[in-house]
Structure 1
Amino acid sequence: MTDSWRDPQAILAGRPPGRTPVGFIVGIAVTATCAIVALGIDATQSFTAGEGATPFAIALPLALLPVPLLVALVLWMDRLEPEPRANLAFAFGWGAGIAALTALIVNTADLEYVTMPALGATNGEYVAATFGAPVVEETLKGLVLIGLLWRRRAEIDGPTDGIIYAAMVGLGFAMIENVGYYINAFVTPERGGIELLGYTFVLRGLVSPLLHPIFTSMTGLGVAYAASRRGGAPWAVGLGLLAAMILHGTWNGLSLYGTAGLVAAYLIMSCVLVALLVILVADRRRMIGLIRHCLPGYERTGLITDDDIAMLASLRERRLARAWARGIGGLGASAAMSDYQLAATELALARAKADRGVLDFNAFAAREHSLLSLMAVARRAFAQRVPGHAPVSPAPWAASATAFTQDQHSA
């Protein structure tokens, strides 16, 4: 057996294992470069204000501080059918790099050369923040989601995927944007300094760190709906993008009205966040239902049993299965179990898409073959990781021996 089981995405994509796609490397390099340029523009603001590097040196760690926890939260919500980490990394990089840099340039040009000269400083800032910035920023963030729909449609299996990708884009964008906000708070002459910086950090970094993910999730939902329809439903993408712009503009507009405006804005965004959580819970139940409905038809392959299906339909049992595998064969066995769980879940979702006509016969046949192959390879990889003469404890989810323990004895 080859080591292809170590790279399940290679099996799914039909490429040699262990070889990172050149397009991904180039994409990450471009997004990283754009992020560095955006940070360089923010840093010059510190020096222009005569404060040296101090504001930037303070602002950057503050912007980075909540990011690991927020990314971990997004990944925690994506446990049942985890998206490829490369796709998530690129989505985050797009938000932090290409989207953030382009928005910074376009928004600044709009403010300096269009709205302020035409409407004056106060009205110009209000119009730019309420109507200009939301259109620019949500369009730029949404482009990567539309790109996923165009090039990686098979990876978008429902509303959860749309929300997860949107959240990663939004977190990346907010991280870079917050650096500029924190620097501006520190160097603002009439009311700046540590006090305003602290207030801004609490407002943007602690109280409302999910704003950009919430906005862009509207586009994500539209993209997810389009991916689930045979004709693509481009109107859903446009509607989702419009909803993202409206939410973004509502927040920006209300937040300029002081405490009362902020309270109203928070109430609206809290309601939207609750609605997104309800969608995530409902979609998880949908996927569990598909696992229970679609996978029994594959028991004849010998790759799955009733007990295995029950394990796959529970996040708790999945976690126990990985822990059991790790206890028997170490991290390699646990990785094989994770590959098996992912492939089986993807198989159920692909079967559902084929039943609805979203995947045509040939596309589904190819995907079905690759997923069944991954399940078989993962089982063999698990068996190879188990010591030949070691006693094997029964699988915690199985009433009898499963394919995993059977393979171990026959390997």
Structure 2
Amino acid sequence: MATCPPYPTSPSGPVGGAPRHAHWWQRRWVRYGAPAALLALSGLVILALVREQTGTEGFLVGLGLAVLPVPLLMAAFRWLDRVEPGPWRNLLFAFAWGACAAALIAIVANSFATHWIATATADPSGADTLGATVIAPVVEESAKATALLLVFVFRRRDFTGIVDGVVIAGVTATGFAFTENILYLGTAFGTDQLSGEPGLPSVTAATFFVRIVMSPFAHPLFTVMAGIGFGMSALLADHQRVRRALLPPAGLLLAMGMHAMWNGSASFGGYGFLAVYAAFMLPAFGLLTWLVVWTRQRELRTVREELPAYAAAGWLSPAEPYALGSMRARRLARDHARRHAGRAAARAVAQYEAYATSLAFLRRRGRRGRAGADFVPREQELLWELWRRRDVAGPALDHAARRTAPPVRVAPPPWPLHGAYGPPYQVYRQPSAHRPYGPAAPYPAHNPYRS
């Protein structure tokens, strides 16, 4: 049986450290600076294009109206991601990609394709309809799905399942819809200005009602199909290469089909549009909402099922697996830490919860044969992060567990701790002398997280 030192290995050593002689493209300023510069450049270009089409006044009106649904959508996707929160940099990248790069690709490609269709066909009047129902869904969904592909490839550690795919896809599509809404609303305002009719700007009001009130979730709903495909691919083992390769394109094709149906409904007239909206869009939105909420609950159940092995081995207290598997208990733990030790302690508890969740997901993948060769270093890295925060997070989580459930004793996990799966999927035991369990200890008088 493998043994473990009384304390986890620091990630500053071989676990989490960067190579000493990294290539220039592996340097931190290159990995973050180059994408940021490209996104900023594409943002300036898309800003100039949208302003040219809408005018300054139309751009400002469109911007003010288009921003309204963004906080609600971002809050919804962030709520879905609360079980294992992804880094903010991934969400910022996804939103910026959708609002800048994907929108720029869509505007240029759609304009070129529509112009080519109009000049190459005998009936130029149908170019706009064909472009909206065929070209736009392919171009826009491919551009948005590129953000998913980039996060999936270069931030693979942060992309572990369906919820991650849904969140990244939804945030990317929210950014794309934000830029597109500025264009549509600004153009509608310009049309009202040219008509010169007094009173309420009717075209702007109608566009606002359709795009902001009725269907703010349209673009996220389409792109989430591709996100589900990437998320399901992330759940498969390495040897299931064919299925892993086919799921993302299948999700992308479904996103394109839904987008094409939505765009094509405008050509059916007002009643056709409402029929598609009521018979297809609303049920699809409801089904997707149920799916992601169910997946979120399943993630919490995974935490409750996997972490008792680490409690039995001495890494966690007996009450922590339950507390970490309950969103209410997690919130109570953060509030308790904030009241007794300040905001820095609450942040430490939130980080502890995130690392423990990642540890549970890692063990689940290992038991199911889906863990990679970095299972042991990643497990040690996560245990080290938990160990650093144990003095602050332990009392808070024990307090939350007492508030939300009766006393918990460590029950044997539904699988052997050692032997059945062989190394590296056994749990290394933490000597109990290094962390006595029992009543929750008070916060230390001098802890690094006290604000």
TM range (shorter): 0.7 to 0.9
Residue 244 of structure 1 and its aligned partner are, at CA, apart by 0.3
One of 204, 208, 211 as aligned partner of 1:204: 211
Match of 1:305 in 2: 317
Match of 2:96 in 1: 93
Paired letter, 1:111: T
- Residue matched to 1:3: none
The aligned residue for residue 375 of structure 1 is 386
Please list, as runs of the form range in 1=range in 2, the aligned pairs for 1:137-148 lying within 5 A after superposition: 137-148=140-151
Shift of 1:263: 1.2
- Alignment of 1:43 onto 2:51: yes
| Higher mean C-alpha displacement, 114-123 vs 345-354 | 114-123
- Is residue 344 from structure 1 mapped to residue 356 from structure 2 by the alignment? yes
| Cα pair 2:323 2:398 within 8 Å, conserved | no
Match of 2:137? 134
Any idea what the Cα deviations from partners look like across 1:293-341, whole Å, max 9, x if unmatched? 2111111453312311111111111101100010110001101100110
Query: Quick check: 1:159 aligned with 2:166?
Result: no
Question: What amino acid sits opposite 1:89 in the alignment?
Answer: L
Match of 2:250 among 214, 232, 239: 239
Aligned alpha-carbon RMSD (Å): 2.9
The answer to whether the 8 Å contact 1:294/1:348 transfers is: yes
Asked whether 1:221 is paired with 2:228, we answer yes
- CA distances 1:362-387 after superposition (whole Å, capped 9, x unpaired): 3111111111111111224669xx9x
Aligned equivalents of 2:438 and 2:42: distance in 1?
50
The one-letter code of the counterpart of 1:134 is: P
Please report how far the alpha carbon of residue 183 of structure 1 lies from its aligned counterpart in structure 2 after TM superposition: 2.0
DSSP-derived class of the 2:85 partner: coil
- More moved, 192-201 vs 228-237: 192-201
User: Runs of 5+ in structure 1 lacking a partner?
Assistant: 1-7, 48-52, 387-391
In 2, Cα distance between equivalents of 1:348 and 1:59 = 45
- Number of the residue aligned with 1:170: 173
Deviation at 1:119, TM superposition (A): 5.0
Compared CA separation, residues 403 and 250, structure 1 to 2 (3 A):
farther
Q: Which residue of 2 aligns with 1:4?
A: none
Does the aligned pair in 2 maintain the 1:382–1:404 contact within 8 Å? no
Asked if the contact 1:157–1:228 (Cα under 8 Å) also holds between the matched residues in 2, the reply is yes
Shift of 1:117: 4.6
Q: Partners of 1:402 and 1:264 in 2: how far apart?
A: 61
C-alpha deviation, 1:265, in angstroms: 2.5
Where 1:306 maps in the other structure, the secondary structure is coil
Mapping for residues 6-405 of structure 1, pairs under 5 Å? 14=17, 22-47=30-55, 53-115=56-118, 117-118=120-121, 120-188=123-191, 194-230=201-237, 231-232=240-241, 233-267=244-278, 268-360=280-372, 362-380=373-391, 395-398=399-402, 399=407, 405=441
The offset of 1:159, in angstroms, is 1.3
1:256: how far off? 2.6
1:114 CA displacement: 2.4
Give % identity: 33
Distance 1:23 1:375 in 2: 28
Residues 183, 317 of structure 1: alpha-carbon distance in 2 compared, 3 angstrom cutoff: same
**1:257 is paired with a residue of what secondary structure?**
helix
Amino acid aligned to 1:264: A
Per-residue deviation, 1:67: 1.2
**1:123-169 per-position Cα deviation (integer Å, ceiling 9, x unaligned):** 11111000000000001111111222222223222211111110000
Between stretches 295-304 and 240-249, larger displacement belongs to 295-304
More helix by share: 1
Query: How many residue pairs get matched?
Result: 388
> Letter of the aligned partner of 1:320 in structure 2?
L
1:209 CA drift (Å): 0.9
TM-score, normalised on structure 1?
0.87
Larger radius of gyration: 2
Structure 2: distance between partners of 1:382 and 1:341? 8
SS of 1:188 mapped into structure 2: helix
Aligned-residue offset at 1:23: 1.8
CA distance in 1: counterparts of 2:365 and 2:195, whole angstroms = 56
C-alpha separation in 1, matches of 2:28 and 2:158 = 18
Relative contact order higher in (CA < 8 Å, ≥ 6 apart):
2
> Which deviates more, 305-314 or 190-199?
190-199
Choose 392-401 or 112-121, whichever is displaced more.
Answer: 392-401
Deviation of 1:182 after TM superposition, in Å, equals 1.1
CA pair 13-56 structure 1, distance change in 2 beyond 3 A = farther
